Chain A
Amino acid sequence: MNSIRARLFVILIATTGLVWLSAVGWIFVSTRAEVERVLDARLSEAGRMVSSLVSSQEIDVQRVAELGGTVLPVPSHIPYDRQLSCQLWSFDGTLVGRSDGAPAAELSTHTAGFSEAQIDGETWRVFAIENEERGIRVLVGDSLRVRDRLVGDVIKGLLFPAALVLPLLAGLIWASVNRGLLPLDRMANDLSGRAAADLKPLPQDGPREIRPVIKALNGLFAKVAGAREHERDFTAFAAHELKTPLAGLKTQAQIALASQDEKVTREALGHIVSGVDRTARLVRQLLAIAALEASEVNGKPETTNIAGALRSLVNDMSHQDTRDVQIRIAANLDGLLVSIGQADFDLAARNILENAIAHSPTGGVVDVTGRSEAGVAVVCIADSGAGMAPEELVRATERFFRGRNKTAIGSGLGLSIAALALERSGGVLKLSNRPTGGLMAEMTLLAGRPS
């Protein structure tokens, strides 16, 4: 059952009904016992009364026997009483007398106390008492049908109003359930009436039961709002970073067109060429970010040999890429295996290396070293540039962030691409300043298993 409302309603109706039925059952049993007790007492009292009447010779048994023993006096016509029958038997088995409406057959054969007997298909409760003095056995009985009807009337008296009240009760329960669920409805209305961009938190003052839901929802809202903000920032930065080089290109092109001076024209054209290079690199990096975010890491962990990957990376870099900077790959990297896809590692390492080269002075050295710690491998790429101010270090992997010592070619994306590529395999990029000057980028990755 998917509706809380229906579930609550059914549970409440079922339990109320069950309580009611148990009450009816209990009343039935106790009423029945009480009725038995009272009627049995009446039977025995009536028996004794008749016996005492016989003893005091109020009833002349002899005479009655002579007359043929038909009718005894005191017939009563109250409906229940009519069912009370009395027979007087002599010890020799002659019916001395019987009350009005009493059957002619012997009610019971027992001599004293209570018993039950079947007469004409009806069950009778019979009380017998013997009057030794007069030689008379008195039998007083009533039909069990009467007792059943009494108990039945009491139960009917209980069930009849219940049948009437039950629909009313159902209505009340339904209304109460609805009222109880009102805060949920209110929350649902609040949420469904919202515009897509409305991420303000829900009020915290709801009932205690739905507060965890409200809290979880508010947490989600905050996360979505953060992501949205991030996206907006990214779009604003991307617009700036794409439009600015375009503005530069256009300006330089207009200078080249307007200038009469050949030197100015040539310089402008040179700026256009490097501007196009820079923009192309920016576009390449934006596409790399998009690809990293769109693709999923396949489940099987891959292992990459760092030294091999780095060497082929450095070999691929043209002289223009490396300028006059020397890249030294330490021997302790040999044999170091990390758990990351080769493509992701190349992307991360290439961007960090490019960053290191761009910030190195001409003729500088970029040192690549490695070390193995408990379960992880750390690859360290350190340059001899100016490093970063502490407040810039924490923001360096933000997209489009460019520090004060930015280079002309930099886009502010390289280190964020590296961090993103490492994160996909559970790796971490840590940036710090070297004590001797320059930036140190440490890639911490899970150690790989040899295949």
Chain B
Amino acid sequence: MRVLVVEDDEILSNGLAVGLGMSGFSVEVAQTCDEARAGLRAGGFDAVVLDLMLPDGSGLDILSELRSARSILPVLLLTARDAVEDKIAGLDAGADDYLGKPFDLDELAARLRALMRRGAGRASSTLDWRSIVIEPASLTVTQAGCPVRLSRREFSVLHALMERPGVILSKGQIEEKLYGWQEDIESNTVEVHVHHLRAKLGAETIETVRGLGYRMGGTGT
């Protein structure tokens, strides 16, 4: 669950990166409109948290650019201007949700999960594959009803694979979901996480497709 946070206040953007990270999101921060545009061009995000007042322009410009490029990326506006008419203007400009500052971190995380769920066309807040059920809200995993303890990164890998069980994800695509721009990626981490997941959930859970990547076991033909 990779989120682009566009916010120029350093303390708040740091808080969003750390706080959303604790809820299982991998967060990248853009502090200006230019950085946000660069990030969106690079792609790979599941949602955007957008502040309206940025040093080099308005977040609404970013939003309208996104929508006129026919992107359906979920966008949550995060702003101090929370009068009703501001909310209406924001939603009509193409935002999917609106949260006034100051906000509750858990509420923001829940709204982002809801946006992504809706974006993926799912009704339930949990994902299940065979006997494995994962709950993104609490970052918990059960197998046949028994809780399984996973690290945050292991959970993210499993979450990414279970979102579309039949689809093969390359190592690069999985890495993208795990790390922000600034973080150094150790070359074999995805392999390490997959190894741990297989150890905890059973060897056949994740299937390696040679030369292509990974997918959930037994979904291929």
Contacts and interface: CB of A to CB of B under 8 A. Distances in A.
Task: Decide whether A and B are members of one complex.
Answer: yes
Interface of A: 236-237, 239-252, 254-255, 258-259, 264, 267-268, 271, 274-275, 278, 402-404, 406, 408
Contacts, number: 91
A247 B99 CA distance: 11
Contacts of B55: 402-404, 406
A240 B18 CA distance: 22
A237 B55 CA distance: 12
Interface residues of B, number: 29
A254 B19 contact: yes
B80 A278 contact: no
A330 B55 CA distance: 35
B102 interface: yes
Given A243-B101, A271-B14, A404-B32, A248 B106 contact: no
A255 B18 contact: yes
Contact of B56 (A246, A251, A404): A404
Given A240-B53, A240-B80, A251-B15, 14 more contacts: A236-B53, A240-B52, A240-B79, A240-B101, A243-B101, A244-B7, A246-B102, A251-B19, A255-B15, A264-B22, A267-B18, A271-B15, A274-B11, A404-B55
Interface of B: 7-12, 14-16, 18-19, 22, 32, 51-53, 55-56, 78-81, 100-106
Given A240-B80, A403-B55, A250 B103 contact: yes
B56 A271 contact: no
A244 B102 CA distance: 7
B23 to A, nearest CB: 9
Nearest to B23: A258
Contacts of A246: 101-102
A242 B80 contact: yes
Nearest to A412: B55
A252 B19 CA distance: 8
Prevailing SS type, chain A contact patch: helix
Contacts of A236: 53, 80-81
Contacts of A259: 22
A240 B83 CA distance: 12
B70 to A, nearest CB: 30
A209 to B, nearest CB: 42
Given A255-B18, A255-B22, A249 B80 contact: no
A268 B53 contact: no
Given A404-B55, A404-B56, A247 B12 contact: yes
Nearest to A236: B81
Contacts of B16: 251
Q: Which 9 A-B pairs have the closest CB atoms?
A: A251-B15, A248-B12, A248-B11, A243-B80, A247-B102, A247-B101, A240-B80, A243-B101, A254-B105
Contacts of A406: 8, 55
Q: Which of B12, B81, B104 has the most CB of A within 10 A?
A: B12
A2 B104 CA distance: 64
Nearest to B52: A240
A243 B102 contact: yes
Nearest to A235: B81
Contacts of B14: 248, 252, 271
10 contacts: A242-B80, A243-B80, A247-B12, A248-B9, A251-B16, A252-B11, A258-B22, A267-B18, A404-B55, A408-B11
A252 B16 CA distance: 8
A278 B105 CA distance: 21
Contacts of A408: 10-11
A275 B11 contact: yes
Contact of A239 (B51, B80, B106): B80
Nearest to B108: A251
Given A244-B101, A406-B55, A251 B79 contact: no
Given A242-B80, A271-B15, A404-B32, A254 B101 contact: no
A317 B155 CA distance: 50
A125 B9 CA distance: 115
B102 to A, nearest CB: 4
Contact of B104 (A242, A245, A254): A254
A413 B106 CA distance: 33
Contact of B81 (A239, A248, A249, A267): A239
A408 B55 CA distance: 13
B138 to A, nearest CB: 12
